Amino acid sequence: MKLKGAQILLKMLQEEGVDTIFGYPGGSVIDIYDALMEEKTIKHYLVRHEQGATHAADGYARASGKVGVCLVTSGPGATNTVTGIASAYMDSIPMVIFTGQVPTALIGNDAFQEVDIVGITRPCTKHNYLVKNVKDLARTIKEAFHIARSGRPGPVLVDLPKDVINATTEFKVPGEVKLKTYNPTYKPNIKQLQKVMELIVKAEKPVLFSGGGVSLSKAHKELTELAVKTQIPVTSTLMGLGGFPGTHPLWLGMLGMHGTFRANMAISECDLLIAVGVRFDDRVTGKVDEFAPGAKIVQIDIDPTSIQKNVAVDVPVVGDCKISLKELNTLAGKQDWTGIEKKRKPWLEEIEDWKKTTPLAYKQADVIKPQYVIETLYDLTGGDAIIATEVGQNQMWAAQYYHVKEPGHFITSGGLGAMGFGLPAAIGAQVGAPGRPVVDIAGDGSIQMNIQELATAVQYELPVKVVILNNGFLGMVRQWQELFYKRRYASTKFAHAPDFVKLAEAYGAVGLRAKKPEEVAQVLKQGLECNKPVIMDFVVEPEESVYPMVPAGVSIKKMLLV
């Protein structure tokens, strides 16, 4: 069967189970878009900016568990994807990005809308390809999806020259992918896990530390089973939220720069730290040589390059989080845990005391407090909404006050911290999880970076809700200026902001606003019940700050509190 490159691309997408593409057309991919007109099994969502396409594919991947796919044209279309690709790379999100390219004969000649997108994205993709021959296209696409979803997931870019898209060749589905230099280790070394179990049995003050790897491998049930069986409290990174139920008695909350007092203290006082699917980034560790100073440290991760990278580890375990935790639970089942509650009681009571004496807290006033908005949202949704966030204070308040139940329900740009992420990611999540309530928690600064994607939500009748915590500032930078720069608010106060209610209406969405605390619940209830895209504008305390806060370069024990 002879097919054009554009047709081969669509056939291979079908083979990989792809039914959703986020994209934006242009000259170099016009033939792919023409072929899409005949395709009935793949739905294309037209975004309003290519960055929006990548964030939407990211949100879709997290909410659905599938590989996210986006399609853009060459030149500026390709370069506009870089922020979204970098965000997905740092958060280990499986995505395949197809970019158009000028014909192969023009590559290197500074042709119209030519950029070396393979070179540009080499540092922020798991792998990338420039397809030079249509005969290699099917195999390349199969490899791209295999690499994106296997091992430690990540984005893979495939650059498609226009002549390759139009060329014709015999098509057959490639066989199984076998790459000599790429063989992720899924099954952990049992002897290493036995060492971990010995440490668990001996430990007086253990802590389980969950990261994004737990969520990505859907290892939340195995983690919960281990925690309950061994009576070990659990904390997590920002990316790990949802890997352990946020209302469980053993839950410590998030740790790190804006972590809970009890989580940071537990890490600082523990004698055993079992880190699962984490990379120990600087926002978590604070001053590295004072991080978990008295603990034996276990690190379980599928990526061997992440182990020992930032923190010295006593017992390294290379393997898939789900498989590793399942094996640990099998080993735990062979132990006698009689009396474990008595053994852990002093440690859990110490943690409970930290929780009672220094809880997450804020002081309610006549103006709306952003924490109150998040708490009310949680109460009204029962914790069942998928939460996407922008980046900044809104992101941290969401992490602190919305108690996430399961993986894929907290979607945020963790490693890169890309402002403008939340709205397109929420759109992708809504496509990936139809019927589920999806809420983007935003700041008035971050939301304006990709506000145009509201048109995408309206066009495709996606009932995404946007909760704007409108404080008139770039809040997180303002907080640092307040604390460390004597309130010199250099370029962080908005002299003019749009009327978000009118803006929503201009796009064909619904706009609502609350200015007083007593209006919060009603506005949220009205917005959540509306079967259309909604922007809810909450005018909040301008100089409210996120606490606890660990200043840069100090131990996570040295928290600034309310």
Hey, which residues are catalytic here?
50, 112-113, 162, 476
CA distance 238 to 240: 5
CA distance 203 to 195: 12
CA distance 235 to 314: 20
| Residue 259: partners with Cβ closer than 8 Å, 6 or more residues away | 235, 253, 548, 550, 556
> Which residue in 73, 239, 237, 85 sits closest to 157, CA to CA?
85
Angle between helices 340-357 and 261-269 (to 10 degrees): 130
Query: Which two three-digit tokens encode residue 104?
Result: 């192969």
CA distance 420 to 189: 41
Q: Are 297 and 275 in contact (CB under 8 A)?
A: yes
Task: Tell me, rounded to whole angstroms, the distance of Cα 437 from its chain centroid.
Answer: 18
At position 2, the amino acid (one-letter code) is K
Q: Are 400 and 376 in contact (CB under 8 A)?
A: no
DSSP codes joined into one string, 223-247: HHHHHHHHT--EEE-STTTTSS-TT
CA distance 149 to 152: 8
Task: Specify burial of residue 320 (Cβ count, 10 A radius: 0-12, 13-18, 19+).
Answer: buried
CA distance 447 to 2: 47
At position 367, the amino acid (one-letter code) is V
At position 439, the amino acid (one-letter code) is V
Helix-, strand-, coil-residue percentages of the chain, each rounded to 5: 40, 20, 40
Q: Are 38 and 449 in contact (CB under 8 A)?
A: no
Task: Specify burial of residue 491 (Cβ count, 10 A radius: 0-12, 13-18, 19+).
Answer: exposed
CA distance 295 to 402: 30
CA distance 127 to 139: 15
3-class DSSP assignment, residue 364: coil
Strand-pair category, 386-389 with 296-301: unpaired
CA distance 250 to 235: 9
> In residues, how long is the chain?
562
Query: Which two three-digit tokens encode residue 444?
Result: 């008035």
At position 182, the amino acid (one-letter code) is Y
